[in-house]
Structure 1
């Protein structure tokens, strides 16, 4: 039986169609980009914790790996944790430098200097990230050794903030943060904080900026929106020196203001001012010596909650220009929450930028959700994005 011309032609057609579809499939999927590479958001940052599994400050190879990752993902801002729980992960003469000594022993040199040199080659900014008021669970810090526990903030029951101490019946109903907080209304805390940050910027003059974390009062759950409800929630700011200063200035006792018409608002504003005054002091001191230094802060994302619960009036900080950027700690998989909080926050840009913190650690197994969140932030015209954290980016 002779082969049919039509059968042969059909075979050629099928083969050609398969080849064309294969090429199209390759062009569409074989060379596809990650959601991060496709995003048009230009300002991109990454937080690098001092306990990162990549051990960034322990070798030149780890620094090189970080730089390569940033270049590949178009990240142009690095937030490097150098001060946490009273420990210095930098060359300090003030704070406990045992962690830094461990790094030097392993690396053979100061890797912060190496990172600054290498990042400058690729126009990547480096911010020194410092935990300001949180001591984590470490009571054995230099400032507590020097002044005692009077520098710690307390709730209305005179308890420090860590949930494992002074447990009573109230702890059945409220969850305290599992860390110790310093009292921002204590001048000794302010002076010590400024000395740490001045030391960092003097030692590493090539830094682009300082990143302030935990620049707030503790955040209990559930929270009380005002000290007017002192009998119904946990409220912080009752540190010894701050209470005494308030009494001297107003003649009022913050422990007995519940139910008063205006006294509680005076006390709330007082505590809010203590946090803002600390930011002002940090900003003015650092910029007096380094005018081009940027001041950034990680903040509670919802403006009202930040204002009324943790007394972190970051919209005012941006309005006054005492910070250049805030980064919203809006770590969630809920796109509705991302949208609503980001839209609200972006209306408070003031003189600076509002960047969106993205909780990559929540979406390691959900790349589609990660892509949706990036697309949403892009559509909202966020001033930038910052990823928490470096360890999780490579798993996306």
Structure 2
């Protein structure tokens, strides 16, 4: 995705509770990584937001390209050619889907669905072919969703297998699993079973957003990709908690205990600490608002760190994020304060996932995001084509234009040319190009 602004550098000022207390497991030391994170302070000063992208467009016409299209040279070539012919100018390609790599990585295992052996590099091929056509390429990196609700990864090197202690724990499993060593196979098996039984509520297995080594891994992936590929931008996804029912892992509970001390009166902390010896939920239930603030801060801190380091490498790289379009849900349930990220200059572009077949609801979500951003160029409207008829998708492109956003991003290329393609004589991708992009 490209930022659509010309010019130099501007400062933007703009499910159920467990039955009863959870006892501390006997003879289980607190993880060594449970350091004393920063206590809850106000957001720092605004920082410069670079408004000089590599490839500026008057209107972003983007496609999210899911990793399953990046499995062979033939599929990649067809995707770039068709997207270009249909008038799209930006490709957001999923290179980290589930803590795996659809690019050449020494940090994470190769995606299981990649069909061609090394040295085939899907991202390098997309960059080469798209840039030859004047298109922009953004590396789409899933942050905390690290596996689906299925059997664990086959790769022994995958972090789900090597670091089950890095995984987020739902509150519903707390009573059962806090006393279990994460490296005991039953721990991971129960996480997978829970995810499979709750597919309606959670997408799969998440990493723990407060875990320092998780943050380091994600940061390393971002910087590795930013250094080694000729990109136009990088794109956060799943930069959030799965829900307010996470993360109740032992490490997260202890990190909160250490974090919250600075915010409490000594007597209050001492009382909760005494209760904590009997019930590991004492702090999170006794100080629920601060618990929410802690979780929100863990997400924001990683965004800030990555943004500043990516910009230090290349100020013209655009940093964007797919965000929960409903601001209140994003803030209170997923702990994703994307409005503050825009305001404080640690995110260039928000892409609200305004996935709905309801045009009036789409208008509300897009207007809210645009107003929160303070600059229409910093919002691209995310359209869920898979939820709409062809006519509905075209209407939402029109709405995004009428609302004066910086552009549109369709989810997804894969659905549009697959299940949603429609009449082979007039496939949806080409129909959109002719009807709205002058192709």
TM-score by length of structure 2 reads 0.67
Alignment correspondent of 2:59: 42
SS of residue paired to 1:46: strand
Alignment correspondent of 2:13: none
Alignment correspondent of 2:141: 130
User: Could you tell me whether the CA contact under 8 Å between 1:136 and 1:180 is conserved in 2?
Assistant: yes
* Structure with higher helix content: 1
CA shift, 1:265, in A, is: 1.3
Alignment correspondent of 1:209: 233
SS of residue paired to 1:291: coil
1:264-320 residue CA offsets vs partner (Å, 9 max, x unmatched)? 211111110001011112212222222222111111111111000000000111112
User: Could you tell me whether the CA contact under 8 Å between 2:103 and 2:122 is conserved in 1?
Assistant: no
The one of 244, 247, 253 equivalent to 1:237 is 247
1:161-202 residue CA offsets vs partner (Å, 9 max, x unmatched)? 9875359xxx89x95314001111110100111112222222
Q: Does 2:282 match 1:256? A: yes
Classify 1:371/1:145 alpha carbon distance in 2 versus 1 (closer, same or farther; 3 Å): closer
The one of 165, 177, 181 equivalent to 1:150 is 165
Structure 1 segment 138-177 matched on structure 2, within 5 A: 139-140=152-153, 142-147=158-163, 149-157=164-172, 158=174, 165=193, 175-177=200-202
Structure 1 segment 351-370 matched on structure 2, within 5 A: 353-363=378-388, 366-370=389-393
CA shift, 1:121, in A, is: 2.9
Higher relative contact order (CA 8 A, sep 6+): 2
SS of residue paired to 1:51: helix
Structure 1 segment 1-396 matched on structure 2, within 5 A: 42-52=59-69, 56=70, 58-59=72-73, 61-97=74-110, 99=112, 102-104=115-117, 109-137=120-148, 139-140=152-153, 142-147=158-163, 149-157=164-172, 158=174, 165=193, 175-204=200-229, 206-219=230-243, 235-249=245-259, 250=261, 251=269, 252=272, 255-256=281-282, 263-350=287-374, 353-363=378-388, 366-394=389-417, 395=421, 396=428
State the number of aligned residues: 327
Classify 1:92/1:294 alpha carbon distance in 2 versus 1 (closer, same or farther; 3 Å): same
- Largest Rg, 1 or 2: 1
Unaligned ranges ≥5, structure 1: 1-39, 220-233
SS of residue paired to 2:373: coil
How far apart, in 2, do the equivalents of 1:386 and 1:92 lie?
27
Classify 1:208/1:100 alpha carbon distance in 2 versus 1 (closer, same or farther; 3 Å): farther
Unaligned ranges ≥5, structure 2: 1-56, 178-186, 262-268, 422-427, 429-439
CA shift, 1:350, in A, is: 4.8
CA shift, 1:111, in A, is: 4.1
CA shift, 1:104, in A, is: 3.7
How far apart, in 2, do the equivalents of 1:146 and 1:391 lie?
31
User: Which moved further from structure 2: 132-141 or 75-84?
Assistant: 132-141
SS of residue paired to 1:135: strand
TM-score by length of structure 1 reads 0.74
Alignment correspondent of 1:25: none
SS of residue paired to 2:138: strand
SS of residue paired to 2:87: coil
Alignment correspondent of 1:226: none
CA shift, 1:126, in A, is: 0.4
1:16-60 residue CA offsets vs partner (Å, 9 max, x unmatched)? xxxxxxxxxxxxxxxxxxxxxxxx9821100111113xxx4512x
SS of residue paired to 1:347: helix
Classify 1:163/1:355 alpha carbon distance in 2 versus 1 (closer, same or farther; 3 Å): farther
